[in-house]
Amino acid sequence: MTQSTHVLRSQQFSVSCINELFARAEAFQRGGRKNYRDKIVFTVFYEPSTRTRFSFETAAARLGAGMVSTENAKEFSSATKGESLEDTIRVLCGYRPDAIVLRHPQTGAAEIAAEVSEGSGVSIINAGDGAGQHPTQALLDLYTIIKEVGRSGLKVVIGGDLANGRTARSLAYLLAKVDPNVHLVFVAPSALRLGEDIKQHLFENGVRFEEKEELVETLQDADVIYWTRVQKERIANSDYENLRAEMLLRYSITLAHLKLMKPRAILMHPLPRAGEIHPSVDGDSRAAYFRQAANGVPLRMAILERIFTRIPFE
């Protein structure tokens, strides 16, 4: 792993860096706070993602850092004024924040921002770049799994929209890294199967995985069921309604499914959900998705703290 002051891709982290971040997140979750009063975080969201923005800003607030925020950053580059992402980031870096949390609809936007910030001392945190990466989401997913079911020889079922969902792909990658004995099971309709690139990667790294079309048969011995929604934003309109109808019919998780799960298994979802998991499931202690979302705050505190104390990610 090369050292970096930025958080750009799920793949950039070494196992030891992940362990350090999770240890700090754990400490923050037990109530730790800091007072980084001299630090400033910008949250620059070109598309709304209030959930993610609130998670980062709560983390920054708990660390005592100052914040400047826009949920409407596309105005920067509006037709009226026409500015490139590069110019915008260069201007913002000139204001000398400690970190810029960037959400942008285009894949690769965070990488561009990181290049532009070169030499300014400003860290870029990728908070989602289109179909690309969302590394803090991947880390909080992994953190949740390790915290709740451990990291040794897990069987993890990942299902839903595997073709378009960056979350599922990143998680598969990270799991393979921290648990050499992990057994991955991918469940999706044929139209939304995992891409060949990630399968090739898993194969090359000797990760045990299989693909299924049926959900039910995977539930009995799974430690984690990680479910996702169909990414309407990333699918042609004409296909979407059909796919979603098929997903809801075949893959909606209900109490009947939970009955088949192991008593200590967990059910995860990156949220928001739109029918993939029935609310009647929420009361079951294995429904972990709200705990998973909550874990985002301490995990992001750990990320920001590392940036504030100028320890590179590696």
**252 touches its own copies by CB under 8 A:** no
The residue (of 86 and 217) whose beta carbon lies closer to its own copies is 86
Instruction: Please say whether the beta carbons of 137 and 174 come within 8 A.
Output: no
103 belongs to the catalytic site: yes
**Least distance CB 81 / its own copies (angstroms):** 5
> Of the two residues 90 and 199, which places its CB atom closer to its own copies in the complex?
90
Preceding amide of 180 cis, omega within 30 = no
Sign of the torsion angle spanned by Cα atoms 288, 291, 296, 301 = negative
Which of the stretches 7-15, 56-64, 183-191, 245-253 binds its own copies when contact is defined by CB under 8 A?
56-64
Interface characters, 63-102, with its own copies (x: CB under 8 A): -x-xxxxxxxx-xx-x-xxxxx-xxx-xxx-xxxx-----
- Is there binding between residue 279 and its own copies (CB under 8 A)? yes
228 is catalytic: no
Candidates 2, 30, 81, 259; catalytic one: 81
User: Is 229 designated active site?
Assistant: no
Q: Is 103 in the site for its own copies (CB under 8 A)?
A: no
Using the minimum distance from each CB to its own copies, give the nearer residue, 218 or 231.
231
> With CB under 8 A, what is the number of residues at the site for its own copies?
59
CB of 8 to its own copies, least distance (A): 22
Nearest distance, CB of residue 288 and its own copies, angstroms: 11
Which candidate in 62, 134, 155, 306 is catalytic?
134
43, 52, 167, 218: the active-site residue: 52
Residue 241 is a binding residue for its own copies (CB under 8 A): no
Q: Residue 233, interface with its own copies (CB under 8 A)?
A: yes
Q: C-beta of 83: minimal distance to its own copies in Å?
A: 4
Strands 40-45 and 224-227: unpaired
Residue ranges in 173-232 that form contacts with its own copies under rule CB under 8 A:
229, 232
Tokens describing residue 200 = 């090739």
Residue ranges binding its own copies (CB under 8 A): 33, 35, 37-38, 40, 42, 48-51, 53-55, 57-58, 61-62, 64, 66-73, 75-76, 78, 80-84, 86-88, 90-92, 94-97, 229, 232-233, 271-275, 279, 290-291, 293-294, 296-297
Residues belonging to the active site? 51-52, 81, 103, 134
